[in-house]
């Protein structure tokens, strides 16, 4: 059974409510639809011109912002904001459907947040791996063309550590030095090594 039918089944047997709320309920019973909140947020009423205007006015008095779409000979009053759809369920006294809607909405938001976090961390990891490989390539190039002995001791120490610990983070490399240096300090030295490699290529 669709979520719209679940809502319709609940409000069909709900207790009496005031005139405005009863009108919203009647509009939904006659032509209302609501999408599965796990997929999208969309509530719509396909109404006559008179009822569409009245429904829009009633929902506005409750502080909502319904939109009206005229499509062929149809007039559709709709809402796409999750908070406002929840409010309409409250207006219709569809408490069970409201709990279901909010539960699915929370699950969806958690899932979306988790996906965004995973995508963010994956992008950062790819960026880190790409940067590390560029640093190692620069170190190997300098070693072959000039020898690492051409580098200053601070740069040489960083180069050796990066070469040996190709998957280590900048913070981890910094902690291996004696004395330790910050992540930004390691990054500065590795960037300098990459610049030196590029200069060698340029003037070769």
Q: Give the confidence band of 177 by pLDDT, cuts at 50, 70, 90.
A: very high
**pLDDT tens string 35-88:** 988 888 999 999 999 999 999 999 999 999 999 999 877 899 999 999 999 999
Give the whole-angstrom CA distance, residue 20 versus residue 104: 28
Q: Which CATH class is domain 3-93?
A: alpha beta
Q: How far apart are CA 88 and CA 203, in angstroms?
A: 71
Q: Please tell me the total number of residues recorded for the chain in this structure.
A: 204
pTM (two decimals) = 0.60
Half-sphere exposure of 95 (CA within 13 A, CB side): 3
Q: Show Cβ contacts of residue 5 under 8 Å, excluding neighbours closer than 6 positions.
A: none
Spatial distance between the Cα atoms of 36 and 42, rounded to a whole number of angstroms: 8
Strand order from edge to edge, sheet including 32-34: 32-34, 43-47, 74-79, 67-71
Q: Is the pLDDT of residue 185 over 70?
A: yes
Cβ neighbours of 144 (radius 10 Å): 9
| CATH 3.10.28.10 segments of the chain | 3-93
């Amino acid at each position: 059974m669709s979520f719209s039918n679940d809502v319709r089944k609940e409000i069909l047997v709900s207790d009496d409510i005031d005139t405005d709320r009863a009108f919203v309920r009647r509009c939904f019973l006659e032509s209302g639809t609501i999408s599965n909140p796990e997929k999208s947020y969309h509530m719509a009423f396909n109404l006559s011109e008179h009822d569409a205007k009245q429904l829009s006015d009633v929902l506005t008095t409750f502080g909502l912002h319904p939109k009206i779409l005229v499509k062929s000979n149809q007039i559709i009053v709709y809402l796409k904001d999750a908070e406002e759809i929840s409010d309409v369920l409250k207006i219709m006294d569809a408490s069970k459907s409201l709990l279901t809607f909010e539960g699915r909405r929370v699950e969806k938001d958690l899932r979306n947040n988790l996906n965004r976090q995973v995508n963010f961390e994956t992008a950062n990891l790819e960026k880190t791996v790409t940067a590390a490989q560029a640093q190692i390539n620069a170190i190997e190039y300098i070693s072959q063309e000039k020898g690492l002995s051409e580098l200053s001791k601070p740069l040489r120490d960083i180069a050796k550590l990066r070469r040996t610990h190709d998957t280590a983070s900048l913070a981890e490399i910094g902690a291996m030095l004696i004395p330790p240096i910050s992540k930004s300090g390691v990054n500065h030295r590795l960037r300098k090594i990459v610049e030196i490699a590029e200069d060698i290529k340029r003037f070769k």
